[in-house]
Structure 1
Amino acid sequence: MSVLMEIAMFPTDVGESKSRYVAEVLKVIKDSGFEYQLTPMATIIEADNIKELTDLIPKMYEALEKMGVGRVYSVVKFDIRPGKKDRLKQKVKSVEKRLNIG
């Protein structure tokens, strides 16, 4: 099974720039060992099951909490597909192939 989770998580009470906080959340993702892809609007993480990813969410929040933030905004989406692997890369390759760029 392949589960992709797209997540955006950042504080809303710290001013305009969020990169310092997003970097701390990204450290948690990186330390998890899961494949991930940072995008300008969110981060996409791939795991073998939903539980692995849902267990990661509180850890991401705790990293922000340790930074002293008072309010956190988060949006999470899942794409679940049994019988597949490596979709973080394969989905992009499939589209690029159809565009003759991959």
Structure 2
Amino acid sequence: MSVLVEFAMFPTDKGESVSSYVSRIIKFIDESGIPYKLTPMGTIFETETIEEALKVLEQAYKLLEPDCNRVYCTAKFDIRKGRSNRLEQKIKSIEKKIGKEVRK
């Protein structure tokens, strides 16, 4: 199974720039070995189960909880049985159809 998650999580009580808080989350995901892609508007990662995906979101929140009084999070899930590596494969499928590499 493949669970793709696109999410954004950040404190709303720390002013305009929250990159130092978001960096905590990205560092955790990077060190965990979970495949992910950082985008300007959020992060996309892939796990094999919904339980693993929810644990990532829970841990991300726990990294902000100690010094953030208000945390905002959006999350979208695309869950598909019988597939894996969709973080890469979905892009390759589009590239094949348009005949060129998608800008990164």
TM-score range, shorter chain: over 0.9
2:89 maps to 90
Alignment of 1:1-102 (within 5 A): 1-66=1-66, 68-102=67-101
Shift of 1:70: 1.1
User: What secondary structure, in the 3-state scheme, does the structure 2 residue paired with 1:37 have?
Assistant: strand
Q: C-alpha distance in 1, partners of 2:55/2:84? A: 20
Shift in Å, 1:92: 0.8
Name stretches of at least 5 consecutive residues in structure 2 with no aligned partner. none
RMSD: 1.0
Percent of paired sites with the same residue: 50
- Runs of 4 or more, structure 1, over 3 Å off, are none
Aligned residue pairs total 101
Output one character per residue of 1:26-63: Cα deviation in whole Å (capped at 9) or x when no partner: 11212322100111111011011100010121210111
Q: Encode CA deviations 1:63-91: one digit per residue, 9 max, x unaligned.
A: 1123x111000001100111111100110
Distance 2:54 2:32 in 1: 12
- Aligned with 1:83: secondary structure? coil
Secondary structure, counterpart of 1:85 in structure 2? coil
Q: Which stretch of structure 1 is more off in the superposition, 78-87 or 29-38?
A: 29-38
Partners of 2:2 and 2:14 lie apart in 1 by: 35
